[in-house]
Every structure is written in structure tokens, then in C-alpha cells.
Amino acid sequence: MKFCIETDPKNSWYLGTRKFDPLKIDKSETIMYQGNGYLGIRACAEEKNLQEKRDMFVAGTFDSFDDEVTELPNLPDILNIKFEIDQKIFSLSNGVIKNYHKYLNLKNGELIRQFDWIIDQKRIHFKFSRFVSMSDVHLFVSKVEVESDSDVEVKITSGIDGQVSNSGTQHLVEGDRRLYDGKIIQLRERTQRSNIELIFNVLHKIYVDEVLLNSKPHIQMDRQKIAGDYQIKLLRGQKLLFVKYANVYTGIDSDVEEDDICDTSIGDIKQHSLGTYAELLNKSARAWDLNVWQRSLVKIAAADITPQVAINFARYQLAANTPPDSRMNIASKGLTGEGYKGHTFWDTEIFMLPYFIFTMPEIARNLLRYRYLGLGGARKKAKSNGYPGAQFPWEAAWPTDGETTPPWGSADIVTGEPMKVLSGFLEQHITSDVVIAVMEYLYASEDQRFAKEMGYEIILDAAKFWASRLEWNLSQKRFEIDNVIGPDEYKEHANNNAFTNYTAHWCIQKAIEIVKLLRNSDPEMYDELNFKLDLDEVYQDWLAKVDLIYLPRPNEEGVIPQDDTYLTKKKINITPYLSDGGHAKIFKKYNLQQVDNLQVTKQADVLLLLNLFEGHFTQAVEQANWDYYEPKTTHDSSLSLSTHAILASDLHLQTKAYQYFEQGCEVDLGTNIGKTTQGLHMAAVGGIWKMVVLGFGGVRIVDGKLRIEPNLPDTWDSLQYQINWHKSLVKVFVDHDTFKVEVMGNGIEFINHGKIYRIAANSKLELPIEIQVEVND
Amino acid sequence: MKFCIETDPKNSWYLGTRKFDPLKIDKSETIMYQGNGYLGIRACAEEKNLQEKRDMFVAGTFDSFDDEVTELPNLPDILNIKFEIDQKIFSLSNGVIKNYHKYLNLKNGELIRQFDWIIDQKRIHFKFSRFVSMSDVHLFVSKVEVESDSDVEVKITSGIDGQVSNSGTQHLVEGDRRLYDGKIIQLRERTQRSNIELIFNVLHKIYVDEVLLNSKPHIQMDRQKIAGDYQIKLLRGQKLLFVKYANVYTGIDSDVEEDDICDTSIGDIKQHSLGTYAELLNKSARAWDLNVWQRSLVKIAAADITPQVAINFARYQLAANTPPDSRMNIASKGLTGEGYKGHTFWDTEIFMLPYFIFTMPEIARNLLRYRYLGLGGARKKAKSNGYPGAQFPWEAAWPTDGETTPPWGSADIVTGEPMKVLSGFLEQHITSDVVIAVMEYLYASEDQRFAKEMGYEIILDAAKFWASRLEWNLSQKRFEIDNVIGPDEYKEHANNNAFTNYTAHWCIQKAIEIVKLLRNSDPEMYDELNFKLDLDEVYQDWLAKVDLIYLPRPNEEGVIPQDDTYLTKKKINITPYLSDGGHAKIFKKYNLQQVDNLQVTKQADVLLLLNLFEGHFTQAVEQANWDYYEPKTTHDSSLSLSTHAILASDLHLQTKAYQYFEQGCEVDLGTNIGKTTQGLHMAAVGGIWKMVVLGFGGVRIVDGKLRIEPNLPDTWDSLQYQINWHKSLVKVFVDHDTFKVEVMGNGIEFINHGKIYRIAANSKLELPIEIQVEVND
């Protein structure tokens, strides 16, 4: 695979670059992002650069500016350190830079940047190192080592700079700035409308040749800004070490009482500053190992190291962007950039949740609890549209906010008329997507407590919405769903989008099953939910409607019509418009209305339905639809590629599968600069794990049962991964000859090529690999 | 004088620099500011630089963020032009810069910046030229000429970038972005709380070797941002000319109906774009000549050109920062920076207004009308403090806002307790300062219409405030004014500050005179004002109180006590704390409370009283107070120096006078970087004109009469200036032998060394210069 950054053939944890390219600065800032899900910082330089995008976010701190929808505010900069050497301000564009090397160690989350800066015949060596702690979510530690080949005066200015914004929009209101104990620099702010308190502390320690200087900062204050400056005479050959300890606390932190955050934050920074950088990094690295690497192990043996780098990168970013608090969820860009305002989409349920369901079920549970907490907002949305039940928001922020899709987009450039963003109104399949995710979690975890406390209520209330959303077609004598946007967002007013109809129908089916189950097995629980949701009444409605819902069946060629009119539209050759980087290329030729009249699909739509509803359609139908839709799909959404890779793998289209796998890994890691400025494509990141484990590893939940049918790529020697199933850990090893499954914990069952295998508790099973002839694709 | 920029010994209109110094970037951006009083733009580069402060303001567009006091918002950037040459982003810190030269032509307001940029063995010559039009306040025109010594691909991105803020604080809410006629790029925004609509238009024209290209912009949009980009193949030897026409309109413009601003702005930019850069610049230059240079002519003949540069600079900045709309006033930093939020202080009345009263009376009238429009706010302030009448705000923004001094300043850095800003509460002399300015304007202009429509009401209502503000001291049997801040802001709770008591007393005296005058000469007017202000009643109050107001008289040594306790305080040697750049040096040794207990004065206080009340005190008293207070004054305020220069000149302390003159000119032009980042010190700028014309030129209004007693500095050969007096233009020429006065218009009277001279209409008078022996200072 071709990545925008360097890889190390011997080290799959390494992502690096030896060239500072101002034109690509955004991209590397995104890719080398550091975070722990609570706090996230883009990989900007300590010194400021012109083309940079300097962002730091804390999950959940949503605020709205004026009457705009809520977004995550860019928080005061704790990263910035300004160096002046003999009165010259250090910057990469000033003087000459030699031996530049910036790299992220995915294993322990440490970012290192080192180089020689040559200015006025002096050569100064800088090494910057830093990490966001995985063991203490509030903590960020940074150190700078400086050596010079001649005596120099070093002036360092470092502190907290709240003169930041979201591309010009300011959410924070200035609070106190203070110095504690002559050394702890503190800035307090609050969000303007949501009124969330924010506390930032910084403490510096300075050493020359390992001797701690007793230097008090000279404090500088400006609007929303406080910094200390330090002057050090550095002799030739001496080594200066500058350590910056920083922390962030907010009034919505779940680990601290709101009244205690200031004292706690001060106590913590004092305590942390007793440890060295290395000690604190080691502690964080142990957390990475224990919480992430051991639990989601994937090993690819191949001559090419890039697939292993990609899966390590994916696991790194999923951990670094997942909030540890169930009142928050993973944003479509994580905490890596301003794109999509920190909002959560179906990206979580369909593209990221499988990773957590199979490797860290308690996190999957947290992410689904967010939807439970969001039921109020979902009910509000349903009600405002005239429906009962829960209609989940297309874009979600704080769970109780309800719909946060901006209702209006950019104005039409010529007419000036603002264009309505229809997703928040019409992209209704999100409600099904949540239900699908809840069911998958329940199947895999058998978490009865979650089911009863939250899961069933989500499903039942979603079904209530869907049942009322159905429209009776008198002439056809069936229930239909008109005027929606399906996964293919090129079609803005589709009637009977197959994905939407099938998943809505399935939601109601699941709800019916749950009502039956509860009435039999837990009448007390049923009564409780019945009181809340009027189940007695709606259940009758479901029974009356469920079999009359129109499900677009495969036609004579086996093709499921994407919607009522898709198959009648004009066909074109889409090759010129394939997304090989140039995003939305088709709109250079056609406008949205014209694209609406073509058989062109933005992203997996019917194919995603086939993928999620594995076992509901024959392989022949899968093949027919692949043959039909794949050549019509532009992959203009980063969500498209992983689904295609998995489906191609299922269909044994090995070449296609691997091509899609590579493209899927390259969404962010590849050379296309694209929109990565705005942050990572977290769904594509989740897709990397899906392609490896669900695709090549062959893991699937089929009607609630585990299926494992690996399809190892030819170029790989072996693949090893592990999943959680029914509270047991299942380790899978696949090479071109054998397929080994080992269970730690209770025994499990799984299906392989139609046969059910049962592995006893804490034992292994080895199967031969069924050889599949590659279909000519 | 030593200036931070270069001067040209042959050209007093030139301010330049041949060195790009990132450490001094702020200073030159302020000094080379361009504006017309409506629109003001700092002299930032077209390309972005790291240490820059990129600000553009339109007078009067005040807005408040959260519950902060109102301020002028930094407006979307219409200046920025991004160049990429063969895919390298042009910046001054990238590649090598040769032959750098940036200079402002004060005469026509044109800013030019040229240099060679050497990158990848190519040499590209850039010349940037631009101006803010003085003939059409909405218009800004910029051109860039590019030549290269090899064939290059030039990419230019230019438009309107609203991703700006006031040091992080955002006032503007995104509106439409649009392209008109395929070429006019428009951004609309509005202020968040004050809801002022803002329209920005940009139109580009591109020529290669004088041939206009028919290039349509490729539009890029981002949050609060719209730009066009253009790709041009430039061959070696060809000349690229890029012209950017831009305009700004707001919903509060007085020259356009609010509903018409969009159409007007579009029509205007179309119309203007028919003219060449040179044509539009010429039109603007004619306006500069006619409106500014001819009307405020000052010519200094001296070997040293810097005094002439300073006076040209002062006249330039006064014109470029004075709003053409009487609902607005000159901010203490003009439109040149974010400092003091665009608020107006007594700086206008005491330090800038004399320039306008004597050279452009109609502008002085506008500036005083602003105070008339502010009577509502002043009454609100008085009422909130429990007084009747008008108490003018210490800081003023939109006239009806009333007091806009931020009530709270920074928190104490150690305790975190926010510190109260007392000026808004206690610095009450502003109410007298307004009255003094009104009277000076009336004396000089004899503008009866202003007096009756506005002036008298201001004075009467101010007197009403002062009379009620007086406190009866039972034991002393006199009225006192306790707990104020006088001009010396080191003393925060002074009792009977001489400046305050004398000026308050004088206000009441003037009010009494006006009542008498109106009762006699214009009973109808009197009845009207009586109805508004209850004059019958308050007049009795004034009469009863006026002679009982305590006026601190000179003591045995002739010294007027600055306040009740000043003379009893400890004396120190202030030499180490003199403001030679290091601002507020005294606070490095003493805190405010300690300074309060010292005989140390921040700025002219008693001395300013003597200066303003010329003729009320003997020369012996002036001398005694000079001898007493001058050595105790740190000049920590930029308002101090001009008063000292004028008083020293009056006392014939020629060396001191010239030293203070130089320091006064160097406040902004000098080498001290100081706080010029935040904008110019407009009071010091006004002070330059005061020092030349009132000081060395010897012009003064004494008890309503014109006095002219020049004191030409030894190093000057001659001084020529002109003033308006009683609607006539008075031209004065002074050299070391003679003193000529020429009147254009009706005859006038003036006093010179105790004698009254009368010059007939349109005639001249020549007097010998009285030789004054320099007192040994």
C-alpha cells in the first residue's frame, strides 16, 4: 500500500516522516493525532506554523454559537512552546532545518520530532517528545531537549493560549488566570451557552545537564491567555531539558465532582510533576498495552508490513478517539479535527461498533448506552415530525440534544439561497442502524442486564417509530416508506429504499420477538415497559402491519432495486468519476438533480444491506447485486470501501477484495490529501478492522450465531486475531493450510461452511481451510 | 529624533523600512496603518505571517461577546492574497528575500512593498501596492505586480476570510456567501448581539503584459470564508498584474439606506472596477490634498526632517482614524488595533479636538455632536450613581451605550480575585473635559447654531451633574469632591483633586453664564431648555453653591496641592522609573497601594490644569508647579508628554520643551516597541500637533480670546501653520526674527504678550519676535 507517511519494514508501530512539507501539514497533524478519547490533540508542532490546524478537544464539551447547531469547541492551546535563541524566534521556516524526523510510536502513543536548526552559523539540536496519557485521561506531558554547538541565550515562553477558535468561531468565555504556588499556571474558561467550566493547568520543570533549575516563570497575560517565560544561558555542550506538565478538567467530568475540579486539578498536576516524563510515559504505555493491544490483538504475517501498520493504526485511533464516558460517543472525525463538529453518525454503529463488540464489549455497551441516554432526544425528534416512538438523530451531540444536523447548508453560490441539509430530515435509516448494533451486541455478549435496562427499550421504541412511519399504499395494499435518503446520499427523495424498508421491517420483527419473549419470561419487566411505551397497543399495530411492509425482492436477474425508480434511470460509465482522491468528481460534470436521474450510487447501499443481513439472501443474489451495483458505485463516501472489501471477500473475489482493502486503508493513510484536514474518517478506521477480521477473518453474526469462514489473502502467510463471544475469548489463527480456533473461557459454538462446531471450555479446534477458487473478477 | 522606521531627508511624506524583522512586525503594522476613519486596516502583509496582528475595523460596528463590554469587531480579511509559485507557497520566511522595501506614502496614503523572492533557483519580483480610499470610504484597492526570471506557474487565491477574531473572540455570525455575475465574490455577516449587517465584496482583474485575462475564479468556500483561485502560466519576462477591488458596507452606514446596502455595494464595486488602480488612487490622493493637507498645513523649516515627518504623520493618522459620522468618535487607538476595544476617552476632547477645532471645525462639531448624542447614556450613568444631569462615560462606544468601561479587570494573578476597574466609576473629570472642549469649539468657531442645538444643553446638564455631586463639608463650610481619580491614575481614591474641583467649578460657572445669556438674549430657547432640564430650579442651586466649592489654592511656595494628601506623602527619586519605554516600571518596585502613598504622579495633572486654564494663574504659579510636579512625574501615560512640552515652551524652558517634544513624537514613531501592537496612541498623535502649533506656535484660547505667542525652537529656521478663528483662516509664519499673521476672511483680534492686535479682513500683520532668555533648566 502507498501511504502518505513512511513505514518501517521492521516495526509495524512506526509512522514517520523525514520531510516537513507545508502543503501536507494538515494531513500529518491528523494522522499522528494523540488522544485518549477524553482529550485529543492534533499533531501540530510546539511552535506555531502558518499552514497548521491547531486543535484540541475534550469529548462532550458541546456548545452552540449564536443559533448554530452545537459543536465541540477548540480548546485553549496547552501545546505551544515558543523558543527564542539569541533573539531569533525558532520556526521551521526560519533558518535551515537538517535531519528532520517526526514520528509517532503507535504502541505507546508517543510523538517525537527532532532536527537541527541552523541559524546565524549556530547549530541547535531540538528533540520534542510528548504524549496524552492513557492512564490518566486529564494528563498531557511534553518535553523538549535542546543542545547547541555554541553558547546561546534561550528564551522559552510556554503556558495556555485561549486565543483559539473553531475556524474563527469562539465558544469560550474568559475566566480567571492565576499562578498557584509560584509555579502552576492556570486558565479557567467556560463555554458560552452550555456553560461548561474548563480548567487548564501547566507546570514547567527545567533542567540543565540534569540539574533542576529553580526558575520561577515571569508571567505574561493577555486576553484568554497566560504564559510564563524563562531565560536560560545554555553553554556549548550542555543539555537543556524543558518538561511541560499540563492537565485539563471540565465541569462535566464524570470522575470528579464539579465543585472539586479546581482542587483536584491542582493536586493532580502537583502529584504528576513529581514523576519524570519517562515514568509517566511508561505508566501510559502499560495502559495502552493492557487496555488496547492485548485485548484486540491482530497479527498479520506477510512480506508487506503495511497491512499490519494499518491495523495497528486503526486500533490506535479507535482507542484514542473513544470517550470513556457513556454520555459521549465517537464523533465521525473522532477528536482529530473540526469536521462535522464532533457529531456522531451511524458511522459508530455500523462501522466502529463491531470492533468494540468483538474485542471490548464493555466499551460497546457504553457506546450503546449513549443511544439509550439519547432516547429523550430521539423521542423529541419523532414527536416534532408527528410520530410516536424514538427517531434517532442523524447527527448527535450531547445525548439529550436530539437532532443536531445543521438544518441549512451553504448558500447556493449563485442565487445565494441557503440549501437545506436534508440528511437530518430524510436519512432515517439511522434508527434501524442503532437497533442493528444493539442486537449484534446482545448476540455477541449475551448481556441480559443491558438488554433489560436499555437495549429492549431502544428496540421497542424504534419499532414504535417505524410502525407509525409506514404509509399505506391503497392500490398496492402494502405499507411503504416514501421520501427518504438511503445510504446512497445521491438520491435525496427515494421511495422504498431497499435498505430502509428491510431494516425497518426487521426492527419491527425484533420488537415483536422481544414482546413475546418478555411476556413469557419476564412479565414484570414487560409491565414496566408496557407502562412506558404502551406495548399492548403498539404490539397489535406491529402484528397487523409487519407482513404488509413492502420489501423490494430481487428481480428476475436477482437484483434488489435500490428504490422504486433506480433501475429505470439512465446508466453511464462511472470510471471517470471514481473517487481516487478527487472527492465528488461526478459533480464537476453533473449537478445533484442530474445525478439523481442516473444509475449511480455514492456508496454501498443494497450491498450494505446484503452485508449486514448475511444469511437472509442467497449467494447468487449477493453475486447478482455485486455485479449490478459495484460498477455503479463511485465510493464518494469513505464508508463504502470496507463493505465492498468484505462482500468481495465473501464472494471469493480475492483480487477485488484486496484492492478494496488497500483503498480502505488508504482513506486516511494514503497519499490523497483529501479532507483529512478536517480530521480522520473514523468509519474508515473502523472499516480497517472490519475488513481484516470480518472480511479476511470471516467473522460474522448470522441470525444471532457466530460464523467464522476465513478468506486469507494470497499475499499473507497467516492471520491471527481474537474476538469475544458469549463472554469467552476466542483466538483464531489462519494460514493457507489450517484454521485454528482456541477458546479461553466457556465453550462456544460456531458455524463454518454450514457446519456447526462446538469447542469445549478452554480448548482448541483445528480445521482444514476450504479452498475457494477465485472467481474471475 | 530616533524613529523605528526610516525617513527620507528629502521627503517628509516617506515612512519606510528595508528590513523585515518578525520581532517588530506589530509596530510597523500599526505605524503604516491605512484608513479613512470609516474603514481601517493594519499594514499587515498580503500573505500571512506568524507574528502579525491582522486587524480591520469599521467605525461604530460595536458588538458585545457574552456579557463583556462592547468592542469593535475585527472584520473579515479582504487583504489576504495567497501566491503559490510552482507549488511553493510564497511567504517571507520561505526561500530568500532580497531588496526588501516597504514604505508608506503619507501624502496619498499608498502602501508599497517590494522585494525579490528567490526560491528553487528562481527569482520572482513582487511589488504590492494598496490604499484605502479617502474619496470613497467603502473602497479598498490593492494591486500586485509579479515578474519572474524563469517560466513559472502562478496560483493566486484571494477573497474574503472571516476566520478572524479579536484575539480569539468572535463577534460575527456567518451569513450568505455568493458569486455575482461570475466575478464578484461576496460575504455577508452580521454582528452577534448588536445585529449589524456587514457586506464585503471583492472583484479581481488580472493582466499579463497589460492584456486583461478573461479568467473566472474557481470558488472555494469554507466556514465564514469565500475565495477565488486563479492559475496563470507566467513566462520569463512577462509581467503579471493582479488587481483586487474590495468594498465594505454595513447596516449602520449613514450614506446608504439599510435596505439598499447590498445593491449599492454591488453597483459600486462594478463601477469602481472600471477604473484603473492609478485612477482610483489619484482620486483618493486629491481628497487627501483637499480635505487634509491644504486645511491643516504645517511647515517646519529645519535641517532635521523628522519634526516635519512627525507632524505629517500626526495629520495623516488623525485623518485616517476620524469617523466621518457623528454617531461615532475617535477611539483612543483609532482603528489601528484592538487596544481599548475601539472606545473613546477624554483623549479626544483634550488631546485631539484642538487640531480639529483649529483646522477643520466641521469635524470638531461632529465629534462634539457625538457627545450630544451620548447625553442619554450620560444621564443613565448619572442616574445609576444617584445623580441628576449628565455624567459622561469614562469609556464610550455607541453614543447611547453609556458607560462601557469594563467593570472588572484581570484577576489578581495570585489570589485569583478579579480586580475592579475604577476608572469607569471614579475618573469623573471626563464630564468637565467634554464641557471644556465644547467651550473651546464655541470660542473658536462662534458656531451659534451648535451652541443652541447641542452645546448649551451639554454644558447645562453636565453642570447639573456636578452641582449634585458636590459634598458639603460641615466643618470647613465648603463643597468638596471626594473619592475620585484625577488625571494622575496612580491615586485611586483622591479627595479634592485640584483638576477635578477646578474644572467642575468652571463648568458650573459656564452654566450660570449660559443661563443668564439665554434668559436675556433668547428666552424661547431658555424655556425649551428649562422644560428639559429644570433650569429655574437648578440655577438657584448653582448660585448657592458655586462660590462655596473648594478650589485648592497655591500654597506659600505657589504649589497647588494635587489633592488633599498628596503634599504630605513620601518623596522619592523617580529617575529609575521614568518611562523611557519600559512601561509602568515603578510597579516593578512598588504595588499600587504603595505608589498611592508616594509623591509620584503618572501624568500631567495639576500641570494640565494650568495648561488648560491658561490665564487663570500667574506665570510664577505655573513655574512653581512645574518645578514641583515635573520631577515627580513618570509619564507612564502617553498623554503626559505633550502637556509638558507645551508648558515648558510657555515657561521658555526651551531645552526641556524640545526634549518633551521629541519624546512626544517618539511615543509611536520611536524605537520603543511598547504597546503599539495594540494600536497607536491617538492622544499622543494629537499631542504632536498640539506641541507644534499650541506649544511652539504659541496658539491658545485665553478666556475665550485668541492668543498667539510663538516660541520657535532654536534648531528650527521657521514654522508656518494655519488655524481657523471665527470663521476666518489665519496663516502664521514665524522665524527667529519676525512673526507674520495673515487673515483670509473677516478681520480678527488676537493677543500677543498682553497687547491686543486687530487684523482687518484679508490682510497681514508682521510683528517682531520678543526675545525670551532661556531659563536655566
Average pLDDT over residues A115-134: 97
For B429: left if phi > 0, alpha if psi spans -120 to 50, otherwise beta; the answer is: alpha
Alpha helices in B403-429 (DSSP H): 423-426
CA distances from A468 to A132, A459, A464, A479 (A): 47, 14, 6, 10
Q: Domain ends where: B245, B264, B293?
A: B293
Q: Domain ends where: B261, B276, B293?
A: B293
Q: Domain ends where: B293, B309, B340?
A: B293
Question: Could you tell me which residues are beta bridge partners of residue B131?
Answer: B141
Query: Phi and psi of A760, rounded to 5°?
Result: -70, 165
Best A46, A65, A164, A410 member to test B by mutation, with max B CBs in 10 Å, is: A410
**How confident is the model at residue A252, as a pLDDT?**
97
Is B346 labeled as ligand-binding? yes
Tell me A642's DSSP state. Answer: H
Q: Is residue B235 within 8 Å of residue B266, measured between CB atoms?
A: no
Whether residue A755 lies within 8 A of chain B, CB to CB, comes out as: no
* pLDDT higher than 80, residue B158: yes
To the nearest 5 percent, what fractions of chain B are helix, strand and coil? 35, 30, 35
Asked if A162 lies within 8 A of B168 by C-beta distance, the reply is yes
Angstroms from B625 CA to nearest CA on chain A:
38
- Digit-coded pLDDT (tens) for A487-535: 999 999 999 999 999 999 999 999 999 999 999 999 999 999 999 999 9
Together in a domain, B177 and B305: no
Tell me A565's DSSP state. Answer: T
Q: Is residue A98 within 8 Å of residue A115, measured between CB atoms?
A: yes
Q: How far apart are CA B442 and CA B8, in angstroms?
A: 40
Q: How far apart are CA B407 and CA B392, in angstroms?
A: 16
Residue with cell 523585515: B20
What is the CB neighbour count within 10 angstroms for residue B271? Answer: 11
Residues B567, B570, B572, B578: is their CA dihedral positive or negative? negative
CA A690 to chain centre: 13
**How confident is the model at residue A582, as a pLDDT?**
55
* Count helices and strands in chain A by DSSP H and E runs: 21, 32
Q: How far apart are CA B625 and CA B745, in angstroms?
A: 40
Residues written for chain B? 777
Q: Is residue B351 within 8 Å of residue B344, measured between CB atoms?
A: no
**How confident is the model at residue B768, as a pLDDT?**
82
Q: How far apart are CA B476 and CA A731, in angstroms?
A: 98
Q: How far apart are CA B48 and CA B31, in angstroms?
A: 18
Q: CB-CB: which of B162, B173, B223 is closest to A66?
A: B173
Together in a domain, A288 and A314: no
Tell me B75's DSSP state. Answer: P
For residue A313 the three cell numbers come to 493504526
| Long-range contact pairs involving B616-620 (C-beta distance under 8 Å, separation at least 24) | B617/B554, B619/B651, B620/B558
pLDDT band at B770 (very low <50, low <70, confident <90, very high): low
Asked if A167 lies within 8 A of B223 by C-beta distance, the reply is yes
Asked if A411 lies within 8 A of B178 by C-beta distance, the reply is yes
Angstroms from A275 CA to nearest CA on chain B:
25
Query: Phi and psi of B130, rounded to 5°?
Result: -165, 160
What average pLDDT is seen over chain A?
94
Please report residues of A whose CB lies closer than 8 A to that of B416. Answer: 176, 178
Domain that holds residue A104: 36-293
Average pLDDT over residues B59-66: 95
Best B46, B49, B170, B265 member to test A by mutation, with max A CBs in 10 Å, is: B170
* pLDDT higher than 60, residue A772: no
pLDDT band at B24 (very low <50, low <70, confident <90, very high): confident
Please report residues of A whose CB lies closer than 8 A to that of B22. Answer: 89, 94
**How confident is the model at residue B774, as a pLDDT?**
43
- Digit-coded pLDDT (tens) for B714-744: 999 999 999 999 999 999 999 999 999 999 9
Together in a domain, A315 and A187: no
Between these two residues, B583 and A467, which has the higher pLDDT value? A467
pLDDT band at A408 (very low <50, low <70, confident <90, very high): confident
Angstroms from B577 CA to nearest CA on chain A:
20
Q: CB-CB: which of B50, B65, B413 is closest to A179?
A: B413
* pLDDT higher than 70, residue B128: yes
**How confident is the model at residue B773, as a pLDDT?**
44
Query: Phi and psi of A70, rounded to 5°?
Result: -65, 150
pLDDT band at B591 (very low <50, low <70, confident <90, very high): confident
Residue type, B222: D
In-domain check, residue A12: yes
Asked if A165 lies within 8 A of B163 by C-beta distance, the reply is yes
Best B56, B165, B169, B263 member to test A by mutation, with max A CBs in 10 Å, is: B169
In-domain check, residue A252: yes
**How confident is the model at residue B580, as a pLDDT?**
64
Asked if A410 lies within 8 A of B221 by C-beta distance, the reply is yes
What average pLDDT is seen over chain B?
94
- Digit-coded pLDDT (tens) for A237-277: 999 999 999 999 999 999 999 889 999 999 999 999 999 99
Tell me A692's DSSP state. Answer: I
Average pLDDT over residues A644-664: 97
Question: What is the edge-to-edge ordering of all strands in the sheet holding A705-708?
Answer: A699-702, A705-708, A748-752, A755-759
Please report residues of A whose CB lies closer than 8 A to that of B159. Answer: none
| Long-range contact pairs involving B417-423 (C-beta distance under 8 Å, separation at least 24) | B418/A176, B422/B485, B422/B492, B423/B394, B423/B395, B423/B485, B423/B489
Q: How far apart are CA A253 and CA A323, in angstroms?
A: 11
Rounded to two decimals, the pTM is 0.92
**How confident is the model at residue B235, as a pLDDT?**
97
Beta strand pairing call for B139-148 and B239-250: antiparallel
* pLDDT higher than 90, residue B21: no
Q: Is residue B650 within 8 Å of residue B625, measured between CB atoms?
A: no
Angstroms from B574 CA to nearest CA on chain A:
24
pLDDT band at A579 (very low <50, low <70, confident <90, very high): low
Residue type, B381: K
**How confident is the model at residue B775, as a pLDDT?**
44
- Digit-coded pLDDT (tens) for B278-303: 999 999 999 999 999 999 999 999 99
Together in a domain, A274 and A217: yes
pLDDT band at B586 (very low <50, low <70, confident <90, very high): confident
In-domain check, residue B513: no
Report the domain count for chain B: 2
In this structure, of A15-24, A688-697, B262-271, B432-441, the range with the lowest mean pLDDT score is: A15-24
**How confident is the model at residue B252, as a pLDDT?**
97
Together in a domain, A18 and A84: no
Tell me B566's DSSP state. Answer: G
Instruction: Determine the residue of chain A that is closest to B97 in CA distance.
Output: A94
Which CATH number belongs to the domain containing residue B220 in this structure?
A: 2.70.98.40
Q: How far apart are CA B358 and CA A100, in angstroms?
A: 63
Together in a domain, A49 and A78: yes
* pLDDT higher than 50, residue B324: yes
In-domain check, residue B502: no
In-domain check, residue B98: yes
Whether residue B170 lies within 8 A of chain A, CB to CB, comes out as: yes
- Digit-coded pLDDT (tens) for B476-510: 999 999 999 999 999 999 999 999 999 999 999 99
* pLDDT higher than 60, residue B396: yes
pLDDT band at A755 (very low <50, low <70, confident <90, very high): very high
Angstroms from A522 CA to nearest CA on chain B:
53
Whether residue B773 lies within 8 A of chain A, CB to CB, comes out as: no
Asked if B66 lies within 8 A of A192 by C-beta distance, the reply is yes
Together in a domain, B239 and B344: no
Decide: helix, strand or coil at residue A394.
coil
pLDDT band at A776 (very low <50, low <70, confident <90, very high): very low
How many A/B residue pairs have CB atoms within 8 Å? 113
Asked if A168 lies within 8 A of B91 by C-beta distance, the reply is no
Residue type, A175: G
Asked if B163 lies within 8 A of A163 by C-beta distance, the reply is no
Residues B379, B382, B383, B389: is their CA dihedral positive or negative? negative
Together in a domain, B13 and B118: no
**How confident is the model at residue A775, as a pLDDT?**
45
Q: How far apart are CA B70 and CA B488, in angstroms?
A: 26
What is the rounded (10 degree) CA torsion for A236, A237, A238, A242?
90
In-domain check, residue A251: yes
In-domain check, residue B629: no
Whether residue A23 lies within 8 A of chain B, CB to CB, comes out as: yes
Asked if A165 lies within 8 A of B162 by C-beta distance, the reply is no
**How confident is the model at residue A66, as a pLDDT?**
87
Beta strand pairing call for A139-148 and A152-161: unpaired
**How confident is the model at residue B462, as a pLDDT?**
98
Question: Could you tell me which residues are beta bridge partners of residue B58?
Answer: B39
Whether residue B119 lies within 8 A of chain A, CB to CB, comes out as: no
Residues 6+ apart with CB under 8 A from B370: B326, B327, B328, B329, B344, B396, B399
Establish whether this prediction's ipTM goes over 0.85.
yes
For residue A495 the three cell numbers come to 421511495
**How confident is the model at residue B675, as a pLDDT?**
62
CA distances from B367 to B198, B293, B339, B701 (A): 24, 20, 21, 19
Together in a domain, A266 and A128: yes
In-domain check, residue B375: no
Q: How far apart are CA A190 and CA B333, in angstroms?
A: 29
Instruction: Determine the residue of chain B that is closest to A412 in CA distance.
Output: B178
What is the CB neighbour count within 10 angstroms for residue A253? Answer: 23
Instruction: Determine the residue of chain A that is closest to B84 in CA distance.
Output: A23
Best B84, B177, B186, B410 member to test A by mutation, with max A CBs in 10 Å, is: B410
Whether residue B179 lies within 8 A of chain A, CB to CB, comes out as: yes
Average pLDDT over residues A280-305: 98
Which of A552, A456, A540, A457 has the alpha carbon at shortest distance from A504?
Answer: A552
Together in a domain, B156 and B230: yes
**How confident is the model at residue A456, as a pLDDT?**
98
Residues 6+ apart with CB under 8 A from B302: B308, B713, B715, B716, B717
Q: How far apart are CA B327 and CA B61, in angstroms?
A: 11
User: Is B622 known to be catalytic?
Assistant: no
Angstroms from A652 CA to nearest CA on chain B:
43
For residue A650 the three cell numbers come to 465473501
Whether residue B655 lies within 8 A of chain A, CB to CB, comes out as: no
Which of B29, B69, B38 has the alpha carbon at shortest distance from B171?
Answer: B69
Q: How far apart are CA B161 and CA B46, in angstroms?
A: 12
How many Cα neighbours within 13 Å face the side chain of A737? 0
**How confident is the model at residue A773, as a pLDDT?**
44
What is the CB neighbour count within 10 angstroms for residue A681? Answer: 28
Burial A359-388 (b: 16+ CB within 10 A, else e): bbbebbbbbbbbbbbbbebbbbbbeeeebb
**How confident is the model at residue A201, as a pLDDT?**
98
* pLDDT higher than 80, residue B416: no
Which CATH number belongs to the domain containing residue B334 in this structure?
A: 2.60.420.10
- Digit-coded pLDDT (tens) for A323-373: 999 999 999 999 999 999 999 999 999 999 999 999 999 999 999 999 999
* pLDDT higher than 80, residue B411: no
Residues written for chain A? 777
Together in a domain, B284 and B319: no
- Digit-coded pLDDT (tens) for A197-248: 999 999 999 999 999 998 788 898 889 999 999 999 999 999 999 999 999 9
For residue B501 the three cell numbers come to 474641583
Instruction: Determine the residue of chain A that is closest to B175 in CA distance.
Output: A411
* pLDDT higher than 80, residue A627: yes
Residue with cell 477635578: B500
Together in a domain, A128 and A222: yes
Q: What percent of chain A has pLDDT over 90?
A: 87
